[in-house]
Structure formats: structure tokens, C-alpha cells
Amino acid sequence: MNNHVTILEIDGNALKHNLNYFKKKLNPETKILAVVKAFGYGSDGVQVAQFLQDKVDYFAVAYTHEGVALRQANVKTPILVLHPQIPNLQTVIAYRLEPNLYNFKIFNAFLKLADQIPLMNYPVHLKFNTGLNRLGFWHTDIPKIIADLKETNHIKVQSLFSHLAASEDLEEKDFTINQINNFTYIAQQFYKHLGYEPMLHILNTSGVVNFAKAQFNMVRIGIGLYGFGNDEQETAQLKNTHNLKSIISQIHIIQPGETVGYNRAFVAKRPTKSATIPIGHADGISRKLGNKKGYVIVNNKKAKIIGNVCMDMIMVDVTKIDCKEGDEVIIFNNQKMLNYIADVSETIVYETLTAISPRIKKVLK
Ligand SMILES: *Cc1c(COP(=O)(O)O)cnc(C)c1O
């Protein structure tokens, strides 16, 4: 039982708002796949999926065990596993997860299993590389894939998809349009020669924002669900979903010349009131936020982090704040704070969110 006082509250209404915001940008028949990988971007993939399951058409996770967790929590929605890995294929089938098959090695491994069991029309997804050069078949693989598919009824291609390399960056617009065109060509080859028409999808969140025309049959929304668009204006229309809170464990009054924390990094120049908060770099608070770079909110006022961020704690300056031990502390509760934390941590908000440790208790409200 996790009674940790540092809690990430996941805002269900915000998730719903964000989902509807993207739905309005799409044709009513376009399906929505909610990406809940990496613990729902640092929240709780299971709670988010349970909350969204009657509102979306598909879920995606990165790895097989993430999909297993959803099934064990009784999530019935189709689940695409983006990076299933060969040793897990039996588990994929046991939990009725839908694998992304992205090269002949995993395609053949899955087909062999499907023939042995045997499966009947088991839903699989084929990913094509159109420029990200991460996972995916090449268009030159198409004839062989189609020939192999024609010889089996043990698997059925549920969708063909690809992933954009720079959908958020309009300076790379030509590259993105080229990716979309390549994908369209790949889809046409399948539609012409396969005998049935799998679903098509290529857009992630910023793809929906910038290239909504390429929505095909489904879009895959991750970061947008959690409150972040491409830019400030877009993000302003979304609602923050991740609210991280804690409490003051202890308050110290220290005198000039005394220091706070490891390596004595903070040296008091005047009498200083310092508050210790139970969250540290092991919870996803970057050490770059130490030494007055980062702050938290105590009783509606900013309290800067003083000294170095410890593994399990931070100390903040509350000299000018009326507060006591046990008072609530907001680590972040809006996108502006999260963007600031990401900037100071020299990263992007994707990393700031997914860095939130599984040790922190998560509650969807
Ligand atoms: C993570 C991921 C997404 C979601 O991307 P966002 O930018 O968070 O919307 C979509 N598709 C694939 C293949 C991914 O790996």
C-alpha cells in the first residue's frame, strides 16, 4: 500500500477535454488511438486507459508488458503494441494484444507462431519506415509481404502505419509531406494487391495539429491528451492533466553562514527558513533544478529550491512565506510550470512527464 504523501493527481476532466479538443479537428469517422505508453506519459497508463476506454477506439503501448497490465486491469479495447519484441510474442497472443510487425524477422516469427497454434485472422499491424529510420519495413519489402500474406489466413493486417519524424516543425514541412506521400503510395500497393483494405494511420499529436488532412482512418494521440500542443497557443487550449503535490516534512531556521543540503551548496546570507519536501531526483526532479533554478508553490507563493536536489528530497526557501510543517506543496499543476521545468532541465516536456517515478502515488480524479 503506497501511502506516500507525494501524489500525482491525474485530472480526468482534463483528459476528456483534451480528447474532445482533438476530436473536433478530425472527421467524425476518424478513429482515435490513445497512446498510454510509459505509464501514460508518467501518470498511470492503467488508470488512464480505464478512464478512456469507452471514449477511444484503440490504445497503444510501447512494450508488451505494458499491454499485459492493461488487460489484467480488464481493459477490453484493442491494444497496439508498438515494439513487441520476439521473446514476448506468445504473451502478446495470450493477452490478445496486437503486435506491430516492422521487419521480416518479427513478421516471420509471428507467422510461425500463428501457423503452429494455429490462429485465425489474428490482427497485426505493419509499420513502414518513411523517413524516421527507427522501426519499419521499407517500401521495397511490399511484394514479399503481400505474397506471404496471401498464403496464410492465420494473420490479418488490421492496419498499415508509419510515424512522422518532425511533425511539430513547419520548417520540415516538405520532409513531412514527402513521408505522407510515401505512406500513401505504400497503402495504395496494399489496397491494390492484398484483397482487403487495412486501416491507415500516420499522425501523432502534432501531426493532427499541422497535417490534419493526412488523418486517414485513425490518429495516434499521446502528448496532446496530456495537455501539450505544438506551441503556446495550442497548449493554452488544452488542459493540464498532471498535478504533482506534496507536503512540507520539516522546517528549519538557519543563521547566516549555515548551509543547506549536500556539498553545503546553499549558504545562508541572512536568517533563512527552509522547508524539506519529500521528492527528489529519484522521483524525476532533475538536479538541474537545484540551486534556485527551480521552484515549488507553497501557500500560493513561489519557493525556490535551495542547494542540491537530493535523491528523495528537496529543500526550498520559505523565508517570506507563512507556512508550517504539513502544509501542501505544489510541485507543478499547470503547463507553464511544466514547460519551465523542462526548459531548466534542458529537455522537452515529454521527458519531464515520463521522468515522474512509479514510486509516486498516482490518483485519477
Ligand atoms: C509515442 C508515439 C506516438 C504519440 O506521439 P505524441 O507526439 O505524443 O502524440 C504516436 N505514434 C508512435 C509510433 C509513437 O511511438
198 C-alpha vs ligand 1 centroid, how far in Å? 20
Q: Do 210 and 272 sit in the same domain of this protein?
A: no
Q: What is the mean pLDDT of residues 33-54?
A: 98
Q: Give the pLDDT confidence score for residue 230 in this predicted structure.
A: 86
Assess whether pLDDT exceeds 90 at residue 347.
Answer: yes
Cα(254) to centroid(ligand 1), Å = 48
Phi then psi for residue 45, to 5 deg, are -60, -35
DSSP annotation string for 278-338: S--GGGT--GGGTTTT-EEEETTEEEEEES---SS-EEEE-TTS---TT-EEEEE-SHHHH
Per-residue pLDDT at 175 exceeds 90: yes
Pair 95, 157 in one domain: yes
Residue 1 lies in a domain: no
For the Cβ of 221 lying below 6 angstroms from any atom of ligand 1, the answer is yes
List pLDDT tens digits, range 75-84: 999 999 999 9
How many domains does the chain fold into?
2
Mutate to test the pocket of ligand 1, among 63, 128, 163 (most ligand atoms within 8 A of CB): 163
pLDDT tens, position by position, 54-93: 999 999 999 999 999 999 999 999 999 999 999 999 999 9
Considering the domain architecture, whether residues 38 and 141 belong to the same structural domain is answered as: yes
161 and 252: one domain?
Answer: no
Query: In this model, does residue 213 exceed pLDDT 90?
Result: yes
Question: How far is the centre of ligand 1, averaged over its atoms, from the C-alpha of 263 (Å)?
Answer: 40
Question: Of 237, 269, 296, which residue constitutes the final position of a domain?
Answer: 237
Q: What is the pLDDT of residue 361?
A: 96
51 burial type by CB count under 10 A (0-12 exposed, 13-18 middle, 19+ buried): middle
On the question of pLDDT at 2 being above 80, the answer is no
Q: Are residues 202 and 66 in the same domain?
A: yes
Q: Is 18 found in the same domain as 155? A: yes
Establish if 5 belongs to a structural domain.
Answer: no
Q: Domain residues for 122?
A: 12-237
Question: pLDDT value at position 253?
Answer: 98
Assigned domain for 183 exists: yes
Both 290 and 303 in one domain: the answer is: yes
Looking at residue 349, which CATH number applies to its domain? 2.40.37.10
202, 237, 272 - which closes a domain: 237
**Is residue 149 situated within a structural domain?**
yes
Q: 45 CA to middle of ligand 1, Å?
A: 14
Q: Is residue 229 part of a domain?
A: yes
Q: Is 222 in the pocket of ligand 1 (CB under 6 A)?
A: yes
Residue 3: band (very low, low, confident or very high) from pLDDT cuts 50, 70, 90: confident
Return the residue whose CA atom lies nearest to atom 12 of ligand 1.
163
**Average pLDDT of the chain, as a whole number:** 97
Let me know if residue 72 belongs to a domain: yes
Confidence category of residue 304, pLDDT binned at 50, 70, 90:
very high
Cβ of 82 below 6 Å from ligand 1: yes
Same-domain status, 209 and 251? no
Residue 4 pLDDT class (50, 70, 90 cuts): confident
Q: Which of 237, 268, 299 is the last residue of a domain?
A: 237
Residue having the nearest C-alpha atom to atom 13 of ligand 1: 163
- Does the beta carbon of 83 lie inside 6 Å of ligand 1? no
Share of the chain above pLDDT 90, in %: 98
Of 39, 125, 220, 349, the one to substitute when testing ligand 1's pocket (max ligand atoms within 8 A of C-beta) is 220
CA distances to 35, 36, 69, 112, 355 from 89, in Å:
20, 20, 15, 11, 28
- For residues 173 and 246, membership in a common domain is answered with no
Ligand 1 centre from 315 Cα, in Å? 35
* Cβ within 8 Å of residue 283, ≥6 positions away: 6, 312, 356, 357, 359, 360
CATH number assigned to the domain comprising residue 87: 3.20.20.10
Q: How far is the CA of 322 from the centre of ligand 1 (A)?
A: 43
Q: How confident is the model at residue 250 (pLDDT cuts 50, 70, 90)?
A: very high
Q: With CA atoms as reference, report the closest residue to 49 among 23, 78, 82, 29.
A: 78
179 CA distance to ligand 1 middle (Å): 16
Q: For 93-142, how does the pLDDT look when each residue is reduced to its tens digit (9 = 90+)? A: 999 999 999 999 999 999 999 999 999 999 999 999 999 999 999 999 99
Question: What is the average per-residue pLDDT within 165-187?
Answer: 98
Q: Is residue 3 part of a domain?
A: no
pLDDT level of residue 7 (50, 70, 90 thresholds): very high
Are 184 and 43 in a shared domain? yes
- How many angstroms is it from 245 CA to the middle of ligand 1? 27
- Same domain as 300, residue 162: no
DSSP string, 57-126: SEEEESSHHHHHHHHHTT--S-EEESS--GGGHHHHHHTT-EEEE-SHHHHHHHHHHHHHTT-SSEEEEE
Those residues with Cβ within 8 angstroms of residue 105's Cβ, 6 or more apart along the chain or in another chain = 86
Looking at the domain assignment, is residue 7 inside a domain? Answer: no
pLDDT at 1 > cutoff 80: no
Same domain, 174 and 198: yes
pTM for the model stands at 0.97
- Ligand 1, residues 35, 81, 235: which to mutate, most atoms within 8 A of Cβ? 35
Q: Does residue 163's CB lie within 6 angstroms of at least one atom of ligand 1?
A: yes
How high is the pLDDT of residue 131?
97
